[in-house]
Amino acid sequence: MEVLVTMIKVDFFYRQLINHGTEFFSGVPDSLLKSFCAWLTCHAGKNKHIIAVNEGAAVGLASGYHLATGKIPLVYMQNSGIGNAVNPLLSLADGDVYRIPLLLLIGWRGEAGTRDEPQHIKQGKVTLDLFDAMKIPFCVLSDKEDEAAVQLDEAYRRIQKDQSPFALIVRKDTFAPYVPDAVPAPEAEMSRESAIEEIILSSAPEELFISTTGMASRELYELREKHGQGHEKDFLTVGSMGHASSVALGLALQKPELPVTCLDGDGAALMHLGSLAAIGAERPANLRHIVLNNGAHDSVGGQPTIAREIDLGGIARAAGYTEAVTVRTMEELKNILKEKKLPRPSFIEIMVRKGNRKDLGRPLSSPPENKESFMRFIAGEKT
């Protein structure tokens, strides 16, 4: 029997939004919203689509847009980002405060009954409960265009009536694929994986690694396998985007005798850029912060970040890191890594290109197993 697969086309959905008067969009990309994000990047126009550094900032940007225009903006995010948005949703946009009308579009990773990564399971289970608790009305977006159109009518009716947010929750495969014309990607000589390989192969045997969410942690895991090394020196921060550097700082301060490297992404570093200031102020002499800058949210579809337009090294230097360098070629990277005297806390920005190996796997150990072997290694016990 033929199974009929229904999906919403993003141009249809976008037209519905425009017809309801929504023409400003801000958010942090999500793999489930990949086609919608790609459509916005190509069609929303200048100053009408801002990829925000974090989900709370997206609510702020949308609120500012509303103050300027009186119109209803849309804020999109993965459900992992709800936590970042809770404060401005409840203390700025909420009906009990400034009453900012907003349409929220939430990618529902980890929905019960779907297979997903460990970091999405709990978030998926509590997603609807979180909106209930925030008393933000919501519905799960239908994958049928006629039903979705009715849901949108109702959502806008509620937003207009309450002058406050309404959320559309988006299941996996709700939006049909949309592949935009090739968007020029920032050029770079190195891949992220080859940079990570060079870093781990040139590091001291006792160097501890705190790696960021997404592909970087998966590549680090597979590279350890490839080189027959164990995983006990690596803490893979599989969720908690933007907090790997804080985990590294917390660890480095308590274990000054151990060298610690944070392997960060540019999107993740931007998400909680204030953490650079915390590292600069604490100045742990054992911490090295490496940002793999591909100018993109590569792990969720390659949407652009602003990291290639700003001077991350300059920010780190101004924050108080002892040394900050940017490297563009493998030769430069090798030189820097061999330069034992690069005093810590050091900041190394590595320009890498977008993309990953097609057969890249996922860690086989669970987060608790990862944590336990990491802690045993630090405690000096045999793993």
Ligand X SMILES: Cc1ncc(C[n+]2csc(CCOP(=O)(O)OP(=O)(O)O)c2C)c(N)n1
Contact with ligand X (CB under 6 A) among 214, 280, 284, 345: 214
CB of residue 379 vs ligand X: minimum separation in angstroms? 30
Contact with ligand X (CB under 6 A) among 265, 280, 313, 345: 265
Decide if residue 304 touches ligand X (CB under 6 A).
no
Contact with ligand X (CB under 6 A) among 127, 164, 212, 286: 212
CB of residue 272 vs ligand X: minimum separation in angstroms? 9
Decide if residue 199 touches ligand X (CB under 6 A).
no
Which segment (8-16, 134-142, 222-230, 264-272) binds ligand X by CB under 6 A? 264-272
Contact with ligand X (CB under 6 A) among 72, 196, 241, 315: 241
Whose Cβ is closer to ligand X: residue 22's or residue 303's? 303
Which segment (131-139, 141-149, 199-207, 294-302) binds ligand X by CB under 6 A? 294-302
CB of residue 213 vs ligand X: minimum separation in angstroms? 5
**SS in 3 state form for the chain?**
CCCCCCCECHHHHHHHHHHCCCCCEEECCCHHHHHHHHHHHHHCCCCCEEECCCHHHHHHHHHHHHHHHCCCCEEEEEHHHHHHHHHHHHHHHCCCCCCCCCEEEEECCCCCCCCCCHHHHHHHHHHHHHHHHHCCCEEECCCCHHHHHHHHHHHHHHHHHHCCCEEEEECCCCECCCCCCCCCCCCCCEEHHHHHHHHHHHCCCCCEEEECCCHHHHHHHHHHHHCCCCCCCEEECCCCCCCHHHHHHHHHHHCCCCCEEEEEEHHHHHHCCHHHHHHHHHCCCCEEEEEEECCEEHHHCCEECCCCCCCHHHHHHHHCCCEEEEECCHHHHHHHHHCCCCCCCEEEEEEEECCCCCCCCCCCCCHHHHHHHHHHHHCCCCC
Asked if residue 344 lies in contact with residue 96, where contact means CB atoms within 8 angstroms, the answer is: no
Whose Cβ is closer to ligand X: residue 148's or residue 290's? 290
Site string for ligand X, 166-195 (x = CB under 6 A): --------------------------x---
The CA distance from 365 to 383, in Å, is: 14
CB of residue 4 vs ligand X: minimum separation in angstroms? 30
Output the residue with the shortest Cβ distance to ligand X: 265
Q: Nearest to residue 36, comparing CAs of 158, 145, 175?
A: 175
The CA distance from 51 to 29, in Å, is: 8
Contact with ligand X (CB under 6 A) among 27, 101, 186, 267: 267
Decide if residue 284 touches ligand X (CB under 6 A).
no
Contact with ligand X (CB under 6 A) among 56, 60, 81, 280: 81
Contact with ligand X (CB under 6 A) among 296, 319, 336, 351: 296
The CA distance from 63 to 100, in Å, is: 6
CB of residue 30 vs ligand X: minimum separation in angstroms? 6
CB of residue 78 vs ligand X: minimum separation in angstroms? 4
Contact with ligand X (CB under 6 A) among 298, 323, 324, 348: 298
CB of residue 145 vs ligand X: minimum separation in angstroms? 26
The CA distance from 238 to 216, in Å, is: 9
Considering CB under 6 A, how many residues would be counted as binding ligand X? 25
Decide if residue 266 touches ligand X (CB under 6 A).
yes
Decide if residue 123 touches ligand X (CB under 6 A).
no
Interface contacts to ligand X, rule CB under 6 A: 28-30, 78, 80-81, 84, 192, 212-216, 241, 265-268, 294, 296-300, 305
